[in-house]
Chain A
Amino acid sequence: MRCKRLYPEEETAGLAVCSRDTIAYRLFHRNEIAFDSFVETQTRHQRVRRHHIWKHSTEQKCQPMSHYYSNEGIGNPAYYESDTLEVDRGFSRGFPHSNPYDAGQGSWHVMGAGVGMGSGGGRGPAEMLPAYSAATVPTPSVGVSRGGWRESWRDSASVLISPVHPSNPPTETPRWQPQQSYTVSMRLLGSRRMSLFPGGAAALDRLGLTEEDIQDEMENEEQDLVKNLVAMSTKDSDTAIRGLPMSFSEKKYIRSQVLAHRSTKQKHQFTCCADCSGQISMFVRRLRAGSGSVRQALALWQGFMKEVSGKFGSGVLSYFLFLKWLLMFNVFSFLVNFGFITIPQLVSGDAFTNTAKFNGLELLTGMGFFNNTIMFYGGYSADVVGQPPNAIYNMQLAYLLTIAVYMVLCGGSLIYSMATSFKSNFVLEGASGGAWTLLCSWDFRVVNERAVRQRKANLAVQLKESLSEKAQQDQLSSSEKLKRVGVHLAIWLLATGLAIGACAAIYFLSAYEQKQIVKGSDAATLLVPFVVSLVNLVVPLIYSLFNKIEHFSNPRMQVYAVIIRNVFLKMSILGILCYYWMNNVAHKPDTCWESSVGQSLYRLVVVDFFFLLLGSFFGEFLSNVIGTTCVPSLGVPEFDIARNVLDLIYSQTLAWISLYFSPLLTVIQIFKFFILFYVKKVSLMHNCQPPRKSGRAAQMQTIFIALLFLPSYVGALSVVAYTVWSLKPSASCGPFRGLRNPFAVVEKWMAVEQDWVVWIYEQVIRSELFFFLISLIVLVLTYFFWQLKEGRRLLIIQLRQRIANEGKDKAFLLEKLQKLQKSNRSSAGKPKTRMNNQRNVSNRQWYAEPGHEEALPDSRPPISESGFGGMRAAIPGSRPPMSESGFGVSESGFGGMRAAVPDMGLNGLRAAVPQSGPPAQLRADPASSTPSGLIQAMLARQQAEQDDDDYDY
C-alpha cells in the first residue's frame, strides 16, 4: 500500500518538474497499461529505490541534466529490470540491422500492427519461461524504458524550444509551438534515425532496449510530427514534408497521415471558407508549378550549362550564368524601350528622312547613315502622338518615364539579387582557409572523368598547401614584412598611376577626336574607342603581371587586389569620358549633342565587342598554343573568371549610360552578349583547363553582383540623372528640344494634371521635409538593425562558448562518474564469478527465485557499466579499460551509446547541462556543490543501493 501512496506522489512531482514526465505519464495511458497493476507488481525494494531516485531528481527541479542522464541508466527503472529485458534479446538479435539509417524504415509500417506489450508472437523462448509470463513485471518495464528513451529525446526538445517551467501546471499535451517544435522534431527525427541503431540490435539490448521500444519510440515521434504538421497550414506542411530527411515512402506515409488527420478534423469543423481557401491554394500551387515548368522549358542553354559545370565546375559556370543574367537585363530593357519609345515614334508617322548613303563604316561609327535614326536620341520627336482630344501619348514624358522606370526596376532587381546572394553566401567569420571549406567544396556536378581526376589532384595540392600554410604562419621577420609593405605600396602607386595616365590620354584624345569630327573625317572617330579598349585589354594584363612580384599572405587578398585595381581602371576611364561629354560636348547647343554622345557610346560598345573577341583569342587561344607547343611550362591557360566578369560589367555600364542617349543600343548589346556567349563557350572548351583553385565561387559571385551594383549601376544612374536634371538639351533635335532641362517635362505635365497628382508631386517628390523624414526613418532603422546585429554577434560568441564549456563539462562529469563507479565497485568487492553466474546462467529467473533480492544488486552493475561504457566513449581517447572480463557487454554497448551520446551534440547537450553553473566552479568543488544532475543522480543511486542493502540484509 505504501507503494501505491508513493507512486502517484512521485508522479505528480515528476509532472510538475518537467514535460518529460508528462510524456512518460501519457505514455502509460496511451498504451493502456493499468498503472495500478504496474505499481502493485513492482517489488518493494524497487519501489523504494525508485522513490529515492525520483526524489533526488525532483529536487533538481527542472535541471535537464538529471533527466538526461537519469535516462541513461540511473533514474530509469529499466536498467534495474533489464534482466527482464534480457529475455527479448534472443529475438532482437535475429533481427537484421546493420544500417542505422534504415533501421526505422521498415518500422513505419510495422507500427501500430501491435507492438503489444508482451504479446509479440515471435518472442521465441522467452514465452516459455515461467518467470516471464508469471510476472507482469516485464510489461511496465518495457513501458518505462520506452519512457526513458522518449525522455532523452523529449528533454532535449522541450528544453530547446520552450522549457516548461516547474510552476507550470501539468498538461496532457505539452504546448508545442507548432513551427518551432516541428523543426525540432524533424531534427530529432533525422538525428535519431541516424543514431539509434549504431551497432545493430545487439548494442541496443545492452542498453536495456528492445526492438519494440525503438519502434514505439518512433511511432510516438512520428505521431508528434504528424500532429505538428496538421497544425500548420497546408502550404507550410507541404514544404515541411518535402524538407523531411526521409525516404520517399516515408514522406508519403507521413503525408497520408497528415491528410487523414486533416480530413477528420475538417469533418468536425467544415466551413465553406476553409474549403474555398484550400481550393484556391491548390490552384495557386498548380499554377506556380506550371509556370515553373514553362520557365524551365524556356531556360536558355540548359544543356550547355550542364556541360560547362560538368567539365569546369561551378566557378566557370557562374561566369556564364552572369552573362545570361545580363543578357536578360538587356532583353528586358530592349522590350521596354522598343515598346514605349520606339513604337509610338514609328506610329506617329514622321519617320526619319535619310539622305546619307550607306557605306559600311557606319556600322562601326554609328554616324552618317544612322545620324537621325531612332537609334539615337536625335531621332525622336517631341510630338504628342495622336489627336489631342481622344488619344494622347506624350512622347517627352514617355521617353523620360520609360528610362526612369527601367532604371528603378534594374536597381530593385540588383539590390534584391545582391541581398539574397549576400544572405546565402556571405560568411560572417572568415572561414579561415579551413580544411572543411575544401572538403565541402567538392563539386558534385563535375562528371567529366579527366576533370574529376584533375580536381582530385588540385584538391590534394590545396589540402597540402593549407597544411603547410598553417605551419608556416607568423614566421616573417619585420624587415621582410616591411619589404612586403613597400612592394605593395609601390605597386598600388604604379597601378593608380597607370590608370590616371590612361585617363589623361583618353581625355586629350577625345578633344582631338572632336576636332576631327568637325573636319568631317568619320574614321578618326574610331581612335578613342580603340584606345579605350586597348587600355582595357592591356593594362589588366600588366596588373596580372604584378602578381608575380607581389606576395600576399592570403590568396583571397590577391584576388581582391586585382579586382579593385581593374575596377578602378575601368571606372575611371568611363568617368573621364562622361566628364568630357558632360563638360565639353554638352555645351554645344547648336549641334545635336545627345546624339553625338550616343554615337560615341555606340562606338565604344562595338569596338569593345571586337576587343572582347580579341581578348579571348589572345588570352585563351594564343596562350593555349604557346602553352602546349612553345613553352610547355606555362601549361594550358585557365579561364580567368575575374577578368572576364569585369569585362562584362564594363560593357553593361556602357549599356546603362547609353540608355538615355541611344535607347536602342541595347539591341547591339544583346547581339554582343549572345555572340560572346558562344565565342567564350568554344574558347573555353578548346583552350582552357579547369581552374586549379576551387572554392569561393559563391562568394565571388556575390562580389560581382555587388560590383555591378556599386560602381557600375550607381555610376550610370548618376550620369543619366545628372543629364536629365541639369543639362540643357539640344535645341534642334530630340524629344526635349526647347526645354530648360529634360526634367522640366514633368513640371510641364504637372501644370495640366489633376489636383491629386500635383499634390503628391508637390508634397512628396519636391518636398525636403519628406526626404528628411524618410532619411531619418532609414537612419533609425539602420541603427536599430545594426544594434540587433551586434547583439546577435555577442549572442553567437556566448553560445559558442557555452557549447564548448558544456562539452568540457560532459567530459569531466563522465570521467568523475567513471571514477566513482570504479571505486564503488572495488569497495563493494563482489566476486566476479557470481556476477557472471548471474548474467549468463539464469538472470531471467530471479524474479521467481526466492532469493532474488539478494541477487539483485549484483545484476545491476554490469548493465549500468554498459551504459557508462558507452558514455565514456564520448570522451576522446578515454576508452574505458575493460577491467572485468564479465563485462564484455559494455564492449558492444559502446557503439550504441557512443552514437547516441555525441549525437545529442549541440541540442542534447544544451538540454543536458545548461544550468550547471560555470565549469570552473564545478571543477573546483564538484562533490560538495553538486552542480550537476549527473552527480546527484549518481549519489542517489548509491544511496538507493545502500537502502536496498538495508532492506535486504
Chain B
Amino acid sequence: MGGSASQLPKEQLAEYQELTFLSKQEILLAHKRFNELTKDERNPPTRVPMDKILALPELKSNPFRKRICHVFSTSEVKDGSLTFEDFLDLLSAFSDSATLEIKSHYAFRIFDFDDDGTLDGGDLEKLVNCLTGDTDDTRLTQEEMRQLITNILEESDIDKDGTVNLSEFQHVISRSPDFVSSFKIVL
C-alpha cells in the first residue's frame, strides 16, 4: 500500500477524506484499484471508460452496474466513464458511513432509468426487470407487472400523481430498514 500512498499527495488525500465518507485506508485502496484499471496503458487517462469499471468484481454482476456508472459519471458525453473522483463519489455513497439521505438520493437516481426526476411506470418496470433478471421463468408476466406497479404506486405515491418522486421514495426507504444495510459496496 506504500506505493499507492506515495502517488496520492497528502493534501489531496486529506481533501478526499474531508469530502467523502471514506476513511484513509479505503481511499488508498480505491486509488490502488483504480490505478490497476489503467495500468496497462502508457498514459493513464483521467477517465476510465465504463466497460473497464464494469469489469470490477464488485460491480461485475450487479444488475444496476450501468446505471451506477451513469449516475456517478461527470462525463460530458454521457458515456458513463469515471474519473477517480467520480469513483470515490461512488464508493462514498455506497460506504458504511454514508447517510440515509445520500444513499436514498443516489438509489433514486439509479432507479430513475429515464433520468426524468421521477419514478414512473416505465422506470418501475425496468427496475423490477432488473431485479428479477430477464430469463423467461423469472420474469413477471404483463398482468403481474401491471398489478405490481399498481401496488407499488398505491403504497408509495402519496400525492397520487402517478409517479414516485424523490421525497416519496425517501419516505418509502425510511420504512424499509434493510435498505441501508444492503445499499453497500465494499472494495
Contact = CB atoms under 8 A, between A and B. Distances in A.
Chain A interface: which size bin?
Answer: 35 or more
Contact of A429 (B99, B175, B177): B175
Contact of B117 (A198, A296, A435, A470): A198
A133 interface: no
A305 B112 CA distance: 31
Contacts of A440: 107, 172-173, 176, 178-179, 182
Interface in A149-204: 187, 190-191, 194-195, 198-199
A891 to B, nearest CB: 15
B159 A452 contact: no
A442 B159 contact: no
A436 B156 contact: yes
A431 B176 contact: yes
B138 A101 contact: no
A542 to B, nearest CB: 31
A241 B102 CA distance: 11
A470 B177 contact: no
A707 interface: no
A179 B9 CA distance: 34
A101 B177 contact: no
B133 A456 contact: yes
15 contacts: A194-B112, A247-B74, A249-B85, A424-B180, A426-B177, A440-B173, A440-B176, A445-B186, A453-B133, A456-B132, A456-B138, A457-B133, A463-B148, A902-B159, A906-B165
B161 A874 contact: yes
Contacts of B60: 447, 449
Contacts of A101: 71, 109, 115
A919 interface: no
Given A800-B158, A807-B160, A289 B182 contact: no
A803 interface: yes
Interface in A423-457: 424-429, 431, 434-449, 452-453, 456-457
Nearest to B180: A424
Contacts of A190: 105, 166
Interface in A688-713: 695-699
A242 B89 CA distance: 10
Contacts of B148: 435, 463, 467
Contacts of B186: 306, 309, 445
Given A252-B15, A439-B128, A470-B151, A444 B118 contact: no
Interface string A247-285: 111011001000000000000000000000000000000
Contacts of B175: 427-429, 431, 434, 436-437
A439 B161 contact: no
A431 B20 CA distance: 32
A101 B71 CA distance: 8
Contact of A242 (B19, B151, B178): B19
Nearest to B15: A252
Contacts of A806: 159
Contacts of A460: 131-133, 138-140
Contacts of B94: 444
Contacts of B78: 98-99, 102
A838 interface: no
Interface in B118-134: 118, 127-128, 131-133
Closest 4 CB pairs of A and B: A807-B159, A876-B162, A456-B133, A248-B85
B40 interface: no
A252 B19 contact: yes
A127 interface: no
Nearest to A806: B159
Interface in A781-821: 800, 803-804, 806-808, 810-811
Interface in B13-47: 15, 17-21, 23-26
Contact of A903 (B57, B138, B140, B165): B165
A238 interface: yes
A194 B109 contact: yes
A334 to B, nearest CB: 28
Contacts of A902: 118, 159, 161, 163, 165
Among A96, A190, A453, A902, max chain B CB count under 10 A is at A902
A444 B184 contact: yes
B144 A467 contact: yes
Contacts of B53: none
B115 A100 contact: yes
B52 interface: no
A807 B181 CA distance: 32
Nearest to A800: B158
B8 interface: no
Interface in A92-119: 96, 98-102, 105-106
A247 B137 CA distance: 39
A248 B85 CA distance: 6
Interface in A541-582: none
Dominant SS among interface residues on chain A: helix
Contact of A906 (B21, B107, B162, B171): B171
Interface of B: 15, 17-21, 23-26, 57-64, 70-72, 74, 76, 78, 85-86, 88-89, 94, 99, 101-102, 105-109, 112, 115-118, 127-128, 131-133, 137-140, 144, 147-148, 151-152, 155-156, 158-163, 165-168, 171-173, 175-186
Interface string A372-387: 0000000000000000
Contacts of A105: 74
B178 A907 contact: no
A895 interface: yes
Dominant SS among interface residues on chain B: helix
Given A431-B175, A697-B182, 19 more contacts: A198-B117, A238-B18, A242-B20, A245-B101, A245-B102, A248-B85, A289-B17, A296-B26, A314-B182, A424-B177, A434-B155, A434-B176, A436-B155, A447-B59, A449-B60, A453-B133, A457-B137, A695-B176, A905-B165
Contacts of B133: 453, 456-457, 460
Contacts of A441: 176, 178-179, 182
Among A96, A199, A445, A810, max chain B CB count under 10 A is at A445
Contacts of A444: 62, 64, 94, 182-185
Interface string A193-221: 01100110000000000000000000000
A578 to B, nearest CB: 35
A909 interface: yes
A48 interface: no
Nearest to A305: B186
Nearest to B162: A876
Contacts of A876: 160-162
Given A198-B116, A247-B74, A447-B60, A907 B167 contact: yes
Among A309, A435, A876, A906, max chain B CB count under 10 A is at A435
B159 A314 contact: no
A293 B25 contact: yes
A436 B132 CA distance: 14
A795 to B, nearest CB: 15
Contacts of B182: 313-314, 440-445, 697
Interface string A50-89: 0000000000000000000000000000000000000000
Contacts of A243: 99, 101-102
Contacts of A434: 151-152, 155, 172, 175-176
A459 interface: yes
B177 to A, nearest CB: 4
Among B19, B101, B183, B185, max chain A CB count under 10 A is at B19
B112 to A, nearest CB: 8
B115 A425 contact: no
A297 interface: yes
Given A427-B175, A445-B185, A251 B159 contact: no
A748 interface: no
A421 to B, nearest CB: 9
A28 B163 CA distance: 36
A296 B22 CA distance: 11
Contact of A292 (B18, B23, B161, B179): B23
